[in-house]
């Protein structure tokens, strides 16, 4: 008989489960463009499914998650209807009211008092709608109709109905914060920071003329733009995550944000191509970060879980997270900016995946593919490129985001050289890894390798910085904190924690450190935490077990840091 998957809660999730009155994620969700007044609509909503279920669920957690409280059966593609009521504060009268939803999976329509306010067809991007004209005095009804059909035409990441191994439980419905905010008729609609080492250009779209308060000084905002060039800017790095706060005042609108000064690029040093940070060679010592949590799936119980993950990984000596095939709520990137954690950001895959072609053959060394002949239908290609552009637009102002990954292991890969050129035209300020793992084409800024079943080695493209964008995947399974007791997924399995820790140390000392001395630019170990069947994380899936102590590897991490600076 098949054993049920264990229900694992994080500590924060346990508290939330035991206190239904708590409003989850009660932290302003957009720190890059913050207004003082807002109304959080998270909490319990009514829900109806097309198949007849009626009940209540907790927002902002995917229906499939433990924290949502959803108790019905879910058929992918069926319509889900969320409902709740709200009342606009009296002091907001005379201003426009914007309804924001961080993300809804996958397609949705938004209705206020029966009037359609807007729609979205993406699982990963924010929604912002002016709902003023649909509002009434007193109680208003908000209805969000959505459906996760898992249509591979659209970016879907690692969701799969038949989850298992490296494929995970799908995530349906509202999975990021829903909130209201009052704004004047003429308002700042978006803030974009173009980051450099010696200057920053801040664009407040929709603002017109006004003033910018930056680091204690007042600057003119002309046509929504302000360029600032401090004499001696404090640069941003994982070791010194220096941020500058600012406030934009234009007409009746006032928003605050932050920015940083830093550059990333490539340079040949002593005959070896290297990735650089602020003009100097830098070793990005990273971890794969899938962004899944045992109780909230795509959404941790509270945003400070991001902070805990980041600080734990920094304590182990890591300075980089590869955000793997997922776009997080903006608070994740804010914590990386503030705490000092570089981010290698993946684009979210769509299209076709074939296990034999895309995993088995490359694993045994068959890595050649002419992807100009591998053409998805026009709509699928269009949706991938649209998602790539929207990702770059959404995250480009974050100093922590230092590197883009376009395709991973051939998943949905097509015309990679064209994708590189389009992304480089949009954002030339960051290196681009066009094809992480294999199926490399001509245009890329890194020679990107995945190495699991053999000794670590440098790439063959000597004209490019070498990045080992996945490796490791060692397993030690604490059954008390593992979701699936019958299946174990990973690349090398150890029976005890001591064996695991010793093998991890040998991997970094004997294999990784010599490559860093030779000029390796980055390495990404798999992974931050266990995810469902995968038990190859440095944290258990419920985040309650740390499989390594900093003291066990601090000396080798220090040696790697020194080797990168030599």
Contact in structure between 365 and 457 (CB atoms under 8 Å): no
Q: Can you give the pLDDT at residue 375?
A: 81
Distance of CA 357 to the CA centre of its chain: 27
Q: b/e per residue, 430-452, with b = 16+ CB within 10 A?
A: bbbbbbbbbbbbeebbbbbbbbe
What is residue 2's predicted lDDT score, i.e. its pLDDT?
47
Same domain, 387 and 308: yes
Q: For residue 541, is it within any domain?
A: yes
Give the pLDDT confidence score for residue 144 in this predicted structure: 98
288-295: average pLDDT? 97
Torsion of CA 382, 384, 386, 389, to 10 degrees: -140
Same domain, 247 and 318: no
Shared domain check, 215 and 174: no
CATH number, position 368: 3.20.20.80
98 and 238 co-located in one domain: no
pLDDT value at residue 129? 97
At 360-369, the pLDDT tens digits run 877 777 777 7
User: Which residues are CB-contacts of 248 (< 8 A; sequence separation ≥ 6)?
Assistant: 188, 191, 202, 204, 207, 210, 211, 212, 221, 254, 255, 256, 257
Say how far residue 38 (Cα) sits from the centre of its chain: 24
The last residue of one of the domains, among 259, 283, 305, is 259
Mode of pairing for the β-strands spanning 401-408 and 342-346: parallel
What's the chain's average pLDDT?
94
Handedness of CA 6, 354, 453, 372 (dihedral sign): negative
Residues 150 and 253 in one domain: no
- Chain centroid to Cα 455, Å, comes to 29
With a CB cutoff of 8 Å and minimum separation 6, the contacts of 374 are: 413, 414
Using a cut of 0.75, tell me whether the model's pTM lies above it: yes
Could you give the CA distance from residue 382 to residue 343 in angstroms, rounded to a whole number? 26
Write out the residue range of the structural domain in which residue 469 sits.
264-565
Q: Residue 99's pLDDT is what?
A: 98
DSSP 8-state secondary structure symbol assigned to residue 546: B
Q: Give 360's contacts (C-beta < 8 A, 6+ positions apart).
A: none
The residues with which 407 forms a beta bridge, in sequence order, are 435
Model confidence pLDDT, tens digit, residues 77-113: 999 999 999 999 999 999 999 999 999 999 999 999 9
Domain for residue 164, yes or no? yes
pLDDT at residue number 352: 86
Which is nearest to 470 in space by CA: 420, 421, 527, 524? 524
Domain assignment of residue 15, yes or no: no
- Average pLDDT of the segment spanning 350-373: 79
User: What angle (nearest 5°) sits at the alpha carbon of residue 180, between those of residues 174 and 186?
Assistant: 130
Q: Which of 119, 149, 183 is the last residue of a domain?
A: 183
For residue 341, pLDDT beyond 70: yes
List residues bridging with 210 in a β-sheet.
221
Q: Domain check: are 209 and 317 in the same one?
A: no
**Number of domains comprising the chain:** 3
What is the per-residue pLDDT for 360? 81
Give per-residue pLDDT as tens, 469-523: 999 999 999 989 998 878 888 889 999 999 999 999 999 999 999 999 999 999 9
Q: Is residue 20 part of a domain?
A: no
Question: Quick one: which of 294, 275, 296 has its CA closest to 286?
Answer: 275
Q: How many CB atoms lie within 10 A of CB 511?
A: 16
Phi-psi region of 76 (alpha: psi -120 to 50; beta: other; left: phi over 0): beta
Which CATH number does the domain housing residue 255 bear? 2.60.40.10
**Could you tell me if residue 10 is inside a domain?**
no
> Binning pLDDT at 50, 70 and 90, where does residue 1 land?
very low
Give the mean model confidence (pLDDT) for residues 161-183.
95
For position 367, what pLDDT does the model report?
A: 74
19 lies in a domain? no
- Identify the pLDDT of residue 3: 57
Do 357 and 475 belong to one domain?
Answer: yes
Confidence at residue 366, expressed as pLDDT on a 0 to 100 scale: 74
The answer to whether position 317 is within a domain reads: yes
Structural domain ending residue among the three candidates 243, 259, 275: 259
């Amino acid at each position: 008989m098949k054993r049920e998957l264990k229900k694992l809660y994080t500590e924060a999730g346990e508290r939330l489960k035991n206190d239904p009155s708590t409003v989850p994620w009660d932290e302003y969700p957009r720190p890059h463009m913050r207004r003082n007044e807002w109304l959080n609509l998270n909490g319990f909503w009514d829900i109806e499914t097309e198949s007849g279920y009626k009940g209540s669920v907790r927002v902002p957690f995917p229906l499939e998650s433990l924290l949502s409280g959803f108790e019905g059966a879910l058929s992918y593609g069926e319509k889900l209807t969320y409902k709740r009521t709200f009342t606009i504060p009296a002091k907001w009268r005379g201003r426009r009211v914007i309804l924001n939803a961080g993300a809804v999976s996958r397609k949705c329509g938004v209705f206020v008092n029966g009037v359609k306010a807007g729609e979205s067809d993406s699982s990963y991007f924010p929604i912002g709608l002016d709902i003023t004209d649909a509002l009434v005095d007193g109680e208003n009804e908000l209805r969000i109709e959505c459906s996760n059909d898992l249509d591979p035409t659209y970016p879907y990441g690692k969701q799969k109905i038949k989850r298992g191994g490296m494929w995970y439980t799908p995530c349906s419905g509202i999975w990021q914060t829903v909130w209201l905010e009052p704004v004047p008729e003429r308002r700042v609609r978006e803030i974009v920071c173009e980051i450099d080492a010696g200057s920053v250009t801040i664009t407040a779209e929709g603002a017109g003329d006004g003033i910018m308060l930056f680091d204690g000084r007042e600057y003119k905002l002309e046509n929504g733009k302000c360029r600032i060039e401090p004499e001696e800017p404090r640069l941003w790095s994982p070791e010194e995550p220096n941020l500058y706060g600012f406030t934009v005042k234009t007409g009746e609108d006032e928003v605050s944000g932050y920015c940083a000064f830093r550059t990333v690029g490539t340079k040949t040093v002593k005959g070896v191509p290297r990735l650089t940070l602020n003009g100097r060679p830098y070793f990005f010592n990273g971890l794969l970060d899938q962004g899944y949590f045992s109780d909230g799936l795509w959404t941790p119980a509270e945003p400070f879980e991001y902070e805990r993950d980041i600080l734990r990984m920094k304590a182990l000596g890591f300075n980089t997270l590869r955000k793997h095939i997922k776009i997080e709520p903006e608070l994740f990137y804010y914590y990386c900016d503030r705490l000092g954690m570089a981010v290698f950001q993946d684009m979210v895959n769509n299209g076709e995946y074939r296990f034999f072609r895309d995993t088995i053959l490359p694993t045994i060394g068959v890595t050649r593919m002419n992807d100009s002949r591998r053409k998805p239908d026009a709509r699928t290609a269009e949706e991938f490129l649209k998602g790539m552009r929207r990702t770059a637009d959404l995250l480009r102002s974050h100093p922590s985001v230092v590197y883009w990954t376009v395709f991973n292991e051939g998943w949905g890969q097509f015309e990679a050289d064209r994708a590189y050129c389009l992304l480089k035209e949009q954002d030339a300020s960051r290196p681009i890894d066009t094809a992480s793992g294999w199926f490399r084409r001509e245009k890329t800024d890194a020679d990107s390798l995945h190495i699991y079943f053999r000794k670590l080695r440098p790439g063959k493209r000597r004209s490019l910085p070498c990045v080992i964008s996945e490796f490791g995947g060692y397993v030690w399974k604490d059954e008390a904190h593992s979701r699936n007791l019958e299946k174990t997924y990973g690349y090398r399995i150890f029976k005890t924690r001591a064996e695991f820790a010793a093998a991890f140390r040998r991997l970094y000392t004997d294999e990784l450190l010599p490559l860093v001395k030779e000029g390796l630019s980055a390495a990404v170990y798999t992974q931050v935490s266990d995810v469902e069947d995968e038990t190859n994380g440095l944290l258990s899936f419920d985040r309650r077990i740390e499989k390594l102590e900093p003291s066990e590897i601090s000396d080798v991490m220090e040696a790697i840091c020194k080797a990168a600076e030599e």
